[in-house]
Structure 1
C-alpha cells in the first residue's frame, strides 16, 4: 500500500512539474513578444502594441508594430500601425527613425486623413533632435547649440502650416515655430558676440543686421540693434551707427547698454571694472573673464525672465 502511495505521489509531482515548465515556457513567450502563446494574428499584434504603448514599453511596441506591418501589410490595422510606429520611435528617442517613418507614411498615403500628424511628428522629432541624456535632465542653453536641427524643425512645421492650416496640430506647431525663431535669432547674437571677442567687427555687424532683417518681432531684435551700434562705432561708420542708435533708442529705450542719462555705453559689451579680486585670486576658476556680450533675454524674452524682473515700458 505504501509503495503504491509513494508511486502515486511521484506521478503527481511529475505531472505538476511538467505543467509548471509548460506554464513558464508559455509565460516566457508572452513576456518576450507580448502575445498569447501561438496567437500571431493581426489583431493580437495590434492589441499587444497598444498595451505596450500605454505602459511606455516603447521597444516592445516598436517590435510588434513592425511585425504587424511586415506580416499584414494590407491589413485593417496597417496604416494605423504605421502612424503609431512614428510615435513609438519618437518616445524612444529614436528621432531619425521617427522622421524616416513619417516620410514613409507621407509617401505611401499622401491623401490619408491623418497625414497631417506625420508632418507634425517630423517637426517634433527634429525639434528634439540633439537633445541627449544630458540635456533631458540638466538645463542647457539650446540657443548655443548647432541650429541645424532647429532650422529643419521650423521647415517641417512650416510645411504643416502651409498644407493643413486647419489641422488640430497647427496651433501647437505655430507656438513651436515662434520658439524656434526666437532660438535661431538668439544664436545669431551669440555668434556676433563671438566675433566681437575676435575683433571681427564687420562680421558682428552683419550678424546683427541679419537678425533685424530676418527675425522681426523676436526678443533678439534689441540686442541685434545694440550689436550694430557697437560694431559701426568700432568701424567708425558714423552714419550707420547713428541710424542704428536712433532705432534702438526709439523702440527699446531701456536696453541695458544705455546709461541712465540715455547715452550708449560702448564699454557695456566688455563689462566694467576689469577682473575682480575673486578672479585674480582663483586664477579665473570661479569667475569667468569673458566679456558679458549683448544678451538682454531676461528683459525682453518671457522664457528667460525671472518673476521679479520688471517689464520694460515698451512691453
Structure 2
C-alpha cells in the first residue's frame, strides 16, 4: 500500500513537472521571443502573447523592446478582459514615459478600459437599465477622452473620442437624473431640485436635462413654491417649442 502511494505521488510530481515545462516560456533571444509574442497578438491568442510579453518585461525591463512590450501588454490585457492589469500597466507606462510619442493612444486605451468597467454583459444582454450604477469609471473615462482631445486634437483617435465623450456625458446625466428621481420619491424635495438644476447646468443638451424639468416641477409643487412651479413650467413649454 505504501509502495503504491509513493509511486502515485511520484507520478503526480512528474506530471506537474511536465506541465510546468510545457507552460514555461522558452529561454530564447529576446528578439525571437518578441516575434512569437507579436505573432500571437496579431492572431488574437491573448493568453499566450501575454505570457511571453510578461516574460520579456520581467527578464529585460530596460531592454530595447521594453516600451513596445508594455504597449503590447496594455492592448493584450484589454482584449483579454484583464482591466485591472490594463490600468496598472497604463499607469506604469505613463509614469516612466510622460512624453512618449504614443501617449495619445495610451490615453485612448485608458478611456476604453474605464468604459469597459462600466459595462456588464448580462445587463446589456437583458436590456437592464444601468443609469443608477456607480459612475466613477465613466467619470474617469470622460477625463481620459477629454484630456486626449485637449492635448492631441489631431490624433487618429480624436474623432472616436468625441463620439465616446457624447455617450459618456449622456450616461453621467442619466445617473444624476436617477439620483434626482430617488430624492423625489424619498420626499427630499430640495435635494431633488438641486440635482435637477445641476443637470440642466452641466448637461444642458441632453435628454436627461429635459426630463429633469418634470421632476423639478413635481418637487416645487410638493413644497408649494409657486414661483418655482411657474418658472419650471415656462422652461418645459420652451423646450416643447424647440
**TM-score band w.r.t. shorter chain:** 0.7 to 0.9
Contact 1:105 1:115 in 2 (8 A): no
Shift of 1:132: 4.3
Give 1:118-137 correspondences, 5 Å limit.
Answer: 118-135=106-123, 137=125
Normalising to structure 2: TM-score of the pair?
A: 0.84
- Change in 2 beyond 3 A, CA 1:137/1:51: farther
Which of the numbers 47, 50, 56 marks the counterpart of 1:59?
A: 47
Task: Give structure 1 stretches of 5+ with no counterpart.
Answer: 1-24, 254-313
Contact 2:118 2:138 in 1 (8 A): no
Distance in 2 (alpha carbons) for counterparts of 1:172 and 1:130? 18
Distance in 1 (alpha carbons) for counterparts of 2:72 and 2:162? 23
Say whether residues 1:47 and 2:35 are aligned partners: yes
Higher relative contact order (CA 8 A, sep 6+): 2
Aligned length: 225
Return 101-110 or 177-186, whichever deviates more.
101-110
Say whether residues 1:96 and 2:87 are aligned partners: no
Distance in 1 (alpha carbons) for counterparts of 2:94 and 2:197? 38
Shift of 1:193: 1.6
Normalising to structure 1: TM-score of the pair?
A: 0.66
Task: Give structure 2 stretches of 5+ with no counterpart.
Answer: 1-17
Cα deviation 1:160-219 (Å, max 9, x = unaligned): 122212111111111111111101111111112222222222221111111001112112
Return 146-155 or 68-77, whichever deviates more.
68-77
Whose radius of gyration is greater, 1 or 2? 1
CA RMSD of the aligned region, Å? 2.2
Task: Answer 1 or 2: which has greater helix percent.
Answer: 2
Distance in 2 (alpha carbons) for counterparts of 1:251 and 1:136? 31
